Every structure is written in C-alpha cells, then in structure tokens.
A and B are shown apart, each in its own frame.
Chain A
C-alpha cells in the first residue's frame, strides 16, 4: 500500500487568533515495502505529518492518498477505521497508552476495536508479545507492574497486534538504554524484512537512518527540503551540518579523514562500510 502526499498543507486552528501553519505544500511518497525515515528539527512538522498518515489529521489543502483512499479536506470523519487498521502508529513514549488490567487484554484491545473476536485477539496478543521479546509469563500481569522498557514493548505489541501494513514509528527508542534500543530497532528490521511491513521512522538518530532506511526525507519549518536515499543525502555533510542535523558517525569520521587528505569515492554511512573500505585500501597498499 503506497502512501502519497500531494501538495499537502496543514494549519492548526484556522481562522482564529491562534492560527499557525505546520505544513507547506508537502509532496512525498512512501512506497509499499519501503523503510522511509523522516528527519528534521523539533517543530519541523514531523509529528503533524505523521498524524496525516492514518487520518488523525486531515489536510487543510491538498490530498493524501493512502492506498486507494483519497483523503481531502472534505473527507468525512466516518469510515476511517479501515485506514487506521492498515496504518499502525507507535507514538512517542507509547507506554502512556496502556490502561487495561492485564498485558494480554491491553494488546488485544486494538484488534478488538477492529472487529476481531476476543479469542482471536488474545491469540494475537500472545503472538505479538513473543515478537517484542517478552515471554508468556507476562500475559496475565498488570502493565503497570512492568519496567518502562517492558511497558514500551507491550505498547508496541498492542500496535503490532492490529497487523498493520504500514508501521509508523515516532522515535520508538527515545529514553531506552543502548541494548534496548538495539533490540528494538532490530525487531522492527526483522518485521520489515520477514513480514514485508512498510516502515516510516521519525528519528533524530542519523545512525539508525544509515543502518536501516532506504529512503529519507529531511523536513525544515514544515517543508520537505531534501529527499532521497541515505547514500545520496548523507554525502552533503556540510549542508546537513549547516542545518544542524548531523550525519552518521561513520560518515562524520570519514569526512574528517577526507580533510586530512584521504580520498573517498563515496562517503561510507556505517561502521561496517568504513571498515570494509579500510581493509580494501590496506590490501591495495600492501599489494
């Protein structure tokens, strides 16, 4: 299911003294099966944009195409459930959305809202809890007894249980320890590869973009100012630094090597790429 934005603008509280514009003429495309990253400063419109992905907000101008649904400013608020089922959003700090008395019920809540029977929903809960790396002993516990990281996993399982085709992640690893962060990102990567889930990732961590994404959009002040594959976008090191967005660590390191006289045909994005390059060069010099 492709998602396409055509000249989308969004204004908060139009025609009041508190009017403020969050998005200007956004054109972007999230292809089926892709892993798209959205980067940009706080307040650049990322959160507003991602709320358009499952019609929590409707554009003030323009069209959002979600699969074969066209969302325009005039779209009715009814019959949006099918869209919301297909596009699951994991908001920032999703542990805040837990409320049921057991983990199982909480995960089953989403599917049940979309008409899945209770037994099936509980089955889904079991399956998705395993997917996020918690064993069955957690099913009957209260979500409020768990640690922050475990709560986060339960909340994410709750979104996954709706079996969305597109998974939107708003800084899913914010506030997690390094190991939790790594496990979480690898779990999403597995889902992306194995279940062919389209992923939209909003993040400040350029290394995550370099490691996982195959497309990246850069937002500034409500506009898309750059879009392309990370390999292309991260070549503009100076431009990105000027925008105070930074580049992946490996790219930064390679850039410093370049100022010292080393030549790269193409700046590496990940530590592995950089290591490969060094090994190759070393072999060449020896040989």
Chain B
C-alpha cells in the first residue's frame, strides 16, 4: 500500500521533471497518469491496488454519515415518546478485527450508531462490551454491526 503510493508520487515527480513545470496542477496530472499506469500494472505489485482502498474508505465515510443521521433521529424519537420503552443492558460482541486502529474505528462507529455504546474492551482485544438501549434487539444489532461496519473496515484494511 505505502509502496504503491510512493511509486505513484515518484511517477508524478518524474512527470514534472519531464515537463519542466513546477506547479501543483502538473503534479495532479502526473499523479493521475501514475494511477493509470499502476492500474494497468497492478498484477505485478504486491498486495491490492491501493485506489480500491481509497474508494472503500470513501464508502465507509458515507456509511458513517448515514448512521450518524439515523442515530440522532432515533434518539429524538425516544426522547419525544411519552412513555419510555427501553430495556437497557450490556452484551458482549466478539470481533474478528486485529489491529488497534481497526478496533478503535469500529468502537467509535458503534458508539455513533442508534442505541449502542461501547463501554469496554477485553484485555486481549477480542471482545467488545456494548451497552444497548434495547437488549432484546441485541442479537440483531450484533448481526447488523458485523455485516456493515466490520465488513466495511475490512475492505479498507485487508
């Protein structure tokens, strides 16, 4: 990943040297041609083509924005209801993510989703303890988190 970005920057600089123009637009043009060359040569490079990961990160960002809006609508609904219909509780959710960055990202995303809040992480970083507003929906929540956020984060990092 880092190696591919480095190659891309080197191509962009070579473009600027060849054109003998030192301006930001020329760098962008060189970078674009570098992307095209890297895409054509992606079979020779180690790992995945890095721009796929950039797109996946963009998708994750929009997913995050959508969940943020939904979470706040849900909270408004819960507040304006005359009778509270919540059953709070805490459940454990095993996670397959490994690195610190992945787990932190997942925890922050879970905290911003409707009705769930990460309270603690087990010492071996394998289990997240989540406080839910409606504990009967916990299994459904686990399935949803696994299908959306974990998948999206893995798309970016693996």
A and B interact physically: no
Interface residues of B (CB under 8 A from A): none
Interface residues of A (CB under 8 A from B): none
